[in-house]
Structure 1
Amino acid sequence: MNRSPMSRSFRSGMPLLAAALLALAGCSPSQNSASVVSPAAAQVKPQSQVAVARGKIDVEGGLLELTSAAAGVVQQLLVKEGQQLQKGQLVLRLADDAARADVSVAESEWQLAQAKLKARQERLPALKTTLTRWQSAARQGAADQQNVDEALQALRDAQAEADIAGAEVNVAKRKLEQLRALQQRHELHVPEAATVVRLQAQAGSMLQSGSSVAVLLPQRPLIVRAEVNESFVSAIREGMKAQVSVDGDVAAGKQDLPSATVLRVSPVYGTARLQDDTQRGPVRIVEAVLAFDQPPVNAKVGQNVRVSFHE
C-alpha cells in the first residue's frame, strides 16, 4: 500500500519532536529551582568590615603582683610556678619570732588587766551594802552623817578604781589586736583565685616591705585591647561585633579565636605600642576593649592578635 509524502514526513518528524519535548521538560525543574533560590540568596548580606586593628589579649585589671607587707626572712614558701591558688590561700610566711613574743606579752598584759578589773568590780556590792546600812542607821538615829559620808566616799573611790581598770582592759585589748595585726603581716595570702605566673622570692631570702613576691594571673575572663588607628575611631562604637585572629603564623595555620564584642572605647588618644610608622613617627590610636563572646581555647595573655570590626 502506498503512503502519501505527507504521512511519511510526519512519521519521520516524530522522534525529533519527542526529543525536543524531553529537552524542555529537563530544563524546566532547574529553571524553577533557580527562581525559588535566588530571592532567598539575595537576602543574605555579608558583614561589612569597617576597621582593622592590632591588639593584645589581656585579663581585666591586668596581672596581679603580690608584695610583702613587712620586712623579714622568708621562712616558708608554700607555692610554685604554674600552681592554681584559691582565694585566701597562704603563699609564704616570714620569720616572726619577735612578733610572736610581742603578742605573747600583750596577751599576758590583757589577762592581768582583766583580773584587776574583776577584783575591783567584786568590791562594789559589799560597799553598796555597807552604805545602805549606814543610811538606814542614820535615819533611825543610830549613826551620824559622817559614817554615811565615809561609806559613800569609799563606794565612789572603788567605782573610780573599777572604771580605771576597765579602761586599762580596753587599752590592753587594743594593743593586743594591733600586735596580732602586725604579726599577720608576716603572712601573705592570695586575695583572689589565680595562677602563679612567676615567683620572685625563695625560702631563706630577705624581703623588704613592699618587695615583689609573685606575679599572678587572676581567674577572670580574657579580653582584647585593640589599638584603633585615629582614622578609624569614628567607625568604632560599643556593642560592635569583631572577629579576632592570632597575629602571625602558627603550626596548624592561622588560629581563629571566638568572635568578640566591643565593651568600651577609650575617650582619650594615646601612642601605639603594637604598630609604628618609621616615616611619620609615633602612631596615634584609641584603645578599644573587647570581650570574647565565648571563652577562647589556648589563648594566652600577652598574645598579639588582629581585630576586624564589622557592622
Structure 2
Amino acid sequence: MPSSTAPSAAPASKFVAIARGRIDVQGGLVHVAASRDGIVAELPRATGDDVKTGDALVVLDTKQAKIALDAAKAELNAATAQAAMLRAKQPGLKLRAARVSEAAVAGAATGQSADDAKQALSELEAEITVADANVETAKQKVRQAEYEIDARTLRAPMAGRIIARATHIGDVVSPSSGELVELLPDAPRIVRAELNEGFVNKVVVGMSAEISSETDPGKPQTARVVRIGEVFGPSQLNESTQEATDTRDVECILELPDNTLKVGQRVQVRFLPK
C-alpha cells in the first residue's frame, strides 16, 4: 500500500549568499623596480627574508655616481674658499673707504679718491654675492650627487617579506626592466569575493561570512564585509573562459581575523544573515 506521508521539505540554508573568493593582502603585493639604469652590485636580502621599512633590497653599482659626488664636493670647496677670500678683504676696504671719505671731508683727499674707494667696496660686495650664490649652487650639486647615489639602492617601502626576486648580481637593469623584487607587506589579509548580481542586494557592509579553503573546507574562518564595489564586471575566478565572460560580478572585500590563509589561495565565501 503506497505511503501517504508527504515528502519532507529540504532544510533551509543558513546562508544568504555564496561566492567564490581569493585571499589577498590589504594594499596588494608590493613590486619594487629600479629607478635608475645600472648594474646590480649587491643583493643584501634573499627570497623569504623579513625586511623592515628602508632595508636595502638591491644595490646598483655607484662608481660613476661617487665620482660625480667627489667632483661636486671639490667644486663646493673651491666656491667656499673663494667666498671666504673675498670676505677677508671686506673689513680692509670698508676701513679704507671710511678713512678716504673722512680725509675728503677734511680736504686731505679728493672727492674722486673717496668715490673710488666706495666703488671698490661696492664691487667687492657684488663679488661676494656672486661667490655666495656659487656656494649654494655647489651645495645643490652635492645634494643631487648624494641623491643619485641613494637612488641606486632599492629599499623596502614597508615592512614585509620578500616572496620573489627577479635579478642577480651583474645584471644590467633599468626602470623598464619591470619589478626586481616582490614584497608581501606586513599587512592584514583580506578576501576579494566575486558577488553575483543575483546576491548583491542580500549582502551589506558589516555582515559576517564563513571563509573556507577549497582544499580544506572543514575549517572555516569568520570574516566581515568591509566594502562592496559599485561596478559590475566579468568574473576573474571562474575556470571556464565562457563562464567568466557571461558572469557579471561585483567585488566584495572582507576582513579576515588573522593571516593564516595564504595570498592567492582560493576560498568559498558563505554570507551569514546580519
* Correspondence for 2:88: 122
| Greater helix proportion | 1
Match of 1:110 among 76, 80, 98: 76
* Correspondence for 1:255: 219
* Correspondence for 2:7: none
Match of 1:241 among 208, 219, 222: 208
Q: How does 1:123-138 map to 2 (within 5 A)?
A: 123-138=89-104
Match of 1:225 among 188, 192, 199: 192
Q: What's the offset of the Cα at 1:273?
A: 1.4
Counterpart AA for 1:244 = I
Contact 1:277–1:283 (CA<8 Å) still a contact in 2? no
Q: What's the offset of the Cα at 1:139?
A: 2.1
* Correspondence for 1:264: 227
Structure 1 residues 168 and 177: CA distance shift in structure 2, 3 A: same
Counterpart AA for 1:115 = A
Q: How does 1:115-264 map to 2 (within 5 A)?
A: 115-211=81-177, 212-248=179-215, 250=216, 254-257=218-221, 259-264=222-227
Distance 1:125 1:281 in 2: 84
Distance 2:99 2:223 in 1: 87
Structure 1 residues 210 and 194: CA distance shift in structure 2, 3 A: farther
Contact 1:264–1:288 (CA<8 Å) still a contact in 2? yes
Counterpart AA for 1:208 = S
Matched, 1:307 2:262: no
TM-score by length of 2: 0.90
Q: What's the offset of the Cα at 1:61?
A: 1.6
Distance 1:147 1:280 in 2: 94
Measured against aligned partners, the alpha-carbon deviations of 1:13-33 in whole angstroms (never above 9, x if no partner) come to xxxxxxxxxxxxxxxxxxxxx
Quote the RMSD (CA, aligned, Å).
Answer: 1.9
Q: How does 1:39-58 map to 2 (within 5 A)?
A: 48-58=14-24
Unaligned runs of 5+ in 1: 1-45
Counterpart AA for 1:301 = V
Identity of aligned residues (%): 33
Paired residue secondary structure (1:231) = coil
Q: What's the offset of the Cα at 1:209?
A: 2.6
Distance 1:183 1:56 in 2: 40
Counterpart AA for 1:213 = L
Q: What's the offset of the Cα at 1:180?
A: 1.6
* Correspondence for 2:8: none
Counterpart AA for 1:161 = E
Structure 1 residues 116 and 104: CA distance shift in structure 2, 3 A: same
User: Moved runs in structure 1, 4+ residues, more than 4 A?
Assistant: 276-281
Please say which structure displays the higher CA radius of gyration. Answer: 1
Distance 1:96 1:68 in 2: 14
- Structure 1 window deviating more from structure 2 (142-151 vs 214-223): it is 142-151
Distance 1:80 1:182 in 2: 25
Measured against aligned partners, the alpha-carbon deviations of 1:158-205 in whole angstroms (never above 9, x if no partner) come to 011111111111111111211221122221111110101011011122
Task: Give the number of aligned pairs.
Answer: 260
Paired residue secondary structure (2:251) = strand
Distance 1:296 1:109 in 2: 54
Contact 2:34–2:173 (CA<8 Å) still a contact in 1? yes
Matched, 1:283 2:250: no
Q: What's the offset of the Cα at 1:281?
A: 4.9
